[in-house]
Each structure stands twice: as structure tokens, then as C-alpha cells.
Amino acid sequence: MSSERIQRQIDRLLDEVEEAMSGQDWEAVGERARSVLRLDPENQDALSYLAAAERDQTPGTTQPAASDGSSSSSRSRLEQYIPKELLAKLEGVRRTGASSGERLVVTMLFCDVTGSTSAAESLDLEEWSEIMNGAFEHLISPVYRYEGTVARLMGDAILAFFGAPIAHEDDPQRAVLAGLDIVEDIRSYQAEVKTRWGLDFGVRVGINTGLVVVGEVGSDLRVEYTAMGDAINLAARMEQTAGPGTVQISAGTHDLIAPLFEFEGPESIEVKGKSEPVSAYRVLSEKKEPGSLRGIEGLSTPLVGRDSEISGLRGVLERLQDGRGAVVCLMGDAGLGKSSLLSELHAQWEKIAGKDAPWVENRGVSYNTTRPYGLFSHGTQQAIGITDGDSIETVRAKIAAAPGDLPSDVKEKVVHAIGVLLALETASDGP
């Protein structure tokens, strides 16, 4: 697609913006300005018009500047996707400048739309811009869902970082989950585009973990980074060699999350500037029974010095067999053996109730803190036997069978409550 043609399209869109401005049609002004920004993200005229549309006034009208001197219009382009809890954290980082000049290990995620070049050539540029507007919603939202940061928006791609400006102990895991969500979330939009425009397109995701130097936190809630070595280049190569609808990660990222996901690979990939091929893995899904990131796989150590705790927990299990439930709170710093004690508890339960006795084990994760019933919904799915590959119809059938032999009116309420817990129904839908 020639730059001359793109410029003609931009000029036409800007003419339409001015026409909409004269009629005070602010919705049209905002729509056309966003279309320009998809073609030229730094177009100052479009930024100005978009700012005017968002405050329903013409450019040049006095408005208090942002505290960091930034353009409120560019901020708003990403703010619409950001959960308010994450937005507050980003604002705090921006005020303190905490991440400026730091050397950090960051997990980088590249994602682009496959087939975009041929698709754009077959459509009017404004139509393609409309398609990409919708696509970006599905690319960006999962990044913020796991508290990553969009570092760069490109014509048909995004670059996101997990680990800066906000760092978590599980950033590689968050990045991979975001990648899987992107691939899954885009499916319904792909069908919509196919129906409306007759186009087939896909997305692919590449991920790498490496050292970067973090620059200033951008006023538009994006962060500019300068990579140390080839960390970003390798992430880009992971994306470029990934198949449509897949998430491909480097060996470095794989080593950090291997017990948690199912993979294909490794596969050797040629990378420019490297004398030897590098290894890449395709992420398939989360493991139904994830392993531990701590310790050495296949090795375990005996539990020593916890006789009183084990005795107390065994008493709870014995009372459970008599129909008396209990809630036990076990607290301790990381590394003191809580997981080992839980494993011992499971072993004791099998001795008391038998190998086939029901046992549902669930874990709270940091990225679920803003999800209603996150801990309980995962455990409920496990108890009912719901898996990631189940269709909605299969899930509903498993829920309907879960209560067993209960009176019909009670069963209906239980099924509805489970549906609400798993976000399949709303509370107002119930009996």
C-alpha cells in the first residue's frame, strides 16, 4: 500500500472531520479522528480534533493541562481499556517516576494481525481502519486484564510489557495468559469480520523475557523502553515465526513457566544476528493440574517438625468424615512449607477416605484479585469437572447434573447459583 494513497486517505478523513465540526457532530468528529490516528498515530491535527470531540468543544478552547503536560486525548485512547485498579497504579508510578532509568527483567509480548497487508489492499482504508479499531479492543484488553502495559501501538500490532512499570512475581505467567486470552477473545470478532466484509484474518503472539532499560512513563499510559541486547528483537522474532492463532515463546520464558502450561516443541528458529538457531515453544493451554515453580520436579523431601500441625489437620479430616465441616487458616511466610503441609494433608485424606475420595485443590493467584468469585469459581469448575475445552452447552449440562438428587425447586436454585458464580447468568435471571 503506497504512502501516497495513505496520505490521500488521511487528507480526506481530515476534511470530513472539519465538515463534522461545522455541524457540531462530535461523535463523527471523534470517529474520523480515530480513523486518522490508526493510519498516523502521531497526527497532531487528529489528536487535537479528538480532544475537542471528547470535551464537546472546538480546538483552542482553554482546558487545564494534565499534571505532566501531556495530551489528554492520547491518554484517553488507552484509558478506556484499563481497569480502574490498574489505572490508579499507573498514575502512582507516573507521579513518582519510579521506573525511570531502571534495568529490569521484563516479559515482552508482540502481537499482530496476520493477513493485514492483503486485506488492507482489498478494502477502502477507512473500512480497514474500522476493522482494526475493533481488533485493537481484543488485543489490548487482555494485556491490561493481567496488569501489563501497552508500550507501543503500531498499524496492525501491539507491543506490551509485563514487569514494568508495575512488576509482579509472576509476570511471565501473566504475559502468556494474556497471549492465550488474545487468541481466544479474537475468535468472535474474526467471525464478525468474515460475515460483514468477507475477510479472513488471524492474530499471532510472540513472547520473550529479558533485560531492558525502562525510560519515562508516558503520559498516555504507555511506557517507552530501550532494550538491552536483543531481548526485544527475540520477542519480535517469536511473533514473526508464530503460526496464525498461536502463542510462541522463547526458551527463556519457557523455563520460567514450564510447570504451568502445556506446550509443543521445542522448535529451532533462525534469528538474524545469532550464529545458532534458538529454541521456541508453542503454548497450548494451562495445565489442568499445574506443577510447582519451586523445587526440583520429581523430587520431594519429607516433612519434618510439623507433627502438631499434621495432628490437628488429621483431626479435622476425621470430623469431616462424620459430616462436620471446618475452615482452617494456615499462615506463614514463603518457603516455610505450606505447600508441603498441604501435600501431606492430601496424603492423610487418602489414607482415611481412600484413593478415590473427592479432593478439590484450588489456589488464589494475584491476577484474580479484581475478578468476582475468582477463587471459588475455579474450584467449582474443578469440582464439577468443567474443562477449558468444554462448549457452553457442555458446561450447562455439567452444571445441571451437579446438584444430584434434590427437590426440583431447590435444584433449580442451586443450578442458578452455580451459573452466577461462573458468570453464565446474572442474579436477576434466577428463580
94 and 243 inside one domain: yes
Q: The whole model's pTM is what?
A: 0.67
Instruction: For residues 162 and 208, state if they share a domain.
Output: yes
Per-residue confidence at 143, pLDDT binned at 50, 70, 90?
very high
Alpha-carbon span 78 to 58, nearest angstrom:
22
Q: What is the pLDDT of residue 186?
A: 92
What was the pLDDT predicted at 57? 41
Residue 360 lies in a domain: no
The verdict on 212 and 315 lying in the same domain is no
- The predicted pLDDT at position 42 comes to 67
Residues 28 and 16: their CA atoms lie apart, in Å, by: 9
pLDDT at 71 > cutoff 50:
no
Q: Are 238 and 331 part of one and the same domain?
A: no
Q: How confident is the model at residue 204 (pLDDT cuts 50, 70, 90)?
A: very high
So what's the pLDDT on residue 296? 60
Whether residue 325 is found in the same domain as residue 238: no
In whole angstroms, what is the distance from residue 268 CA to residue 279 CA?
5
The pLDDT of residue 68 is above 50 = no
Same domain, 259 and 320: no
Q: Is residue 298 part of a domain?
A: no
Residues 33 and 24: their CA atoms lie apart, in Å, by 14
Distance, CA of 354 to CA of 22 (rounded, Å): 78
42 in a structural domain: yes
Read off the pLDDT of residues 413-431 as tens digits, 9 standing for 90 and up. 888 888 888 877 766 666 6
Q: How far, in Å, CA of 251 to CA of 101, rounded? A: 27
Q: Find which of 209-223, 233-247, 304-318, 339-353 is predicted with most confidence, using mean pLDDT.
A: 233-247
Q: Which residue has the cell 511473533?
A: 239
Name the residue with higher pLDDT: 371 or 395.
395
Buried b (16+ CB within 10 A) or exposed e, 365-398: eebeeeeeeeeebbbbbbebebeeeeeeeebbeb
283 with 215: CB under 8 angstroms? no
**Residue 144 belongs to a domain:** yes
More confident residue, 175 or 363: 175
Q: Look at residue 68 and tell me if it is in a domain.
A: no
Is residue 255 pLDDT above 70, yes or no? yes
Mean residue pLDDT across the chain = 77
Same domain, 260 and 113: yes
End-to-end CA distance of the chain: 57
Domain range for 50 is 3-63
Quick one: average pLDDT of 379-392? 78
Out of 63, 93, 113, a domain closes at 63
Residue-level pLDDT at 109 = 95
Instruction: Retrieve residue 93's grid coordinates.
Output: 508510578
More confident residue, 62 or 118: 118
The mean per-residue pLDDT over the stretch 11-16 comes to: 84
Residue 70 has pLDDT above 50, yes or no: no
Q: Rg for the chain (alpha carbons), in Å?
A: 26
pLDDT in tens, 73-130: 434 455 555 555 565 665 665 555 555 567 788 999 999 888 766 666 677 777 888 8
pLDDT score of 62:
33
Tens of pLDDT along 147-185?
Answer: 898 877 777 888 898 987 788 889 999 999 999 999 999
Percent share of the chain, pLDDT over 70: 74
Residue 265 is assigned to a structural domain of this protein: yes
pLDDT tens string 206-224 = 999 998 766 554 444 444 4
Number of domains present in the structure of the chain: 4
In a domain, 361, yes or no: no
Cα(396)–Cα(419) distance, rounded to whole angstroms? 8
- At 333 the pLDDT is 77
Is 250 within the bounds of a domain?
Answer: yes
pLDDT of 138 strictly over 80 = yes
* Portion of the chain with pLDDT greater than 90, in percent: 17
Q: Assess whether 254 and 162 both reside in one domain.
A: yes
Choice between 318 and 247, residue whose per-residue pLDDT is larger: 247
244 and 339 share one domain: no
Question: Which of 63, 96, 111 delimits the end of a domain?
Answer: 63
Helix (H, G, I), strand (E, B) or coil at 198: coil
Same domain, 117 and 160: yes
My answer on whether 31 and 178 are in the same domain is: no
Same domain, 35 and 92: no
- CATH number for the domain spanning 253: value is 3.30.70.1230
Return the C-alpha cell found at 359: 479432593
pLDDT level of residue 246 (50, 70, 90 thresholds): very high
Give the amino acid at 395: V
Contacts of 199 (CB under 8 A, 6+ apart): 115, 119, 122, 123, 131, 193
